[in-house]
Structure 1
């Protein structure tokens, strides 16, 4: 079973790295080509603004570094004893997942800005926002140790009190809606039919 799992991870990593290399090549070729075509048929400039160039260099460079890191940790290697060591699972969670998010968002912003406009680079703000969320989720148990009132789970005592209050309220509502007795039901039916005996009894009670 362990050998089959290792083979599965190695095969999945090999496929992921090939697709990643192909994606890096396609995106970085289509982006300047799209800008050139649009600059010829529209009034848009082929050279983007300095800020966009800076963002492009930073994010594309980061995606290339991430690809190299994926290749290092995901490619199987041979140990000194001749055994094969399977790399890390590139489909895992944590930092690896953030690396994929960085690469995908870089591709979206690179191609999107070339086709739709430089405003697409605002989407790159989602990367640090998501990274901050993942970091907070990771350190929240530590924060709960020092600030249990803010980051800790709801105490069982509070939950029990809430359930007790809900049960009391339900019992109170049930007590307010008592069913009519058979005698009251008969009197009500006679009143609806206009029975004179019921009317006489009501007159006597009113006196």
Structure 2
């Protein structure tokens, strides 16, 4: 018998009541319904100081970055749910990824990742996912071509599902693509 795949679901929004947190919970629930083991975390679980080479030189790699790297190694894949900030990713997420990129060999190398975003806007945070994709791929992560951007998320999210069945179908397709990648 093979072990259930294990996924780290990272929500990059720390705002109370975040739409992205609700989407991360929905994705985690959907993965669990497919038999996967899931650990849902957020950026606060991996707090790091602002990256500066001088800090690294004196203190080494920040503890939060080491914890994130260790969690990546303990899981078969990553679901990264991120809001869009000014057509990019949140600065705190970029900072964590900058710290993690200093660990050699890269703990992100070949990790299958599904990118997701939720926004009340018309594009669902897709522009932020494009910027995130570049950063992750440049550090060796296997970012899936399939991604999930949820527009009008303030109306679309309901419990652990969506108001419209086609959104459930899109999430199912994204989850299946991630499961196939591991």
* TM > 0.5 fold call: no
TM-score (norm 2): 0.22
Determine which structure has greater relative contact order: mean sequence separation of CA pairs < 8 Å that are 6+ residues apart, divided by chain length. 2
The structure whose Rg is larger is 1
Structure with more of its chain in strand, by fraction: 2
TM-score by length of 1: 0.20
Greater percentage in helix? 1
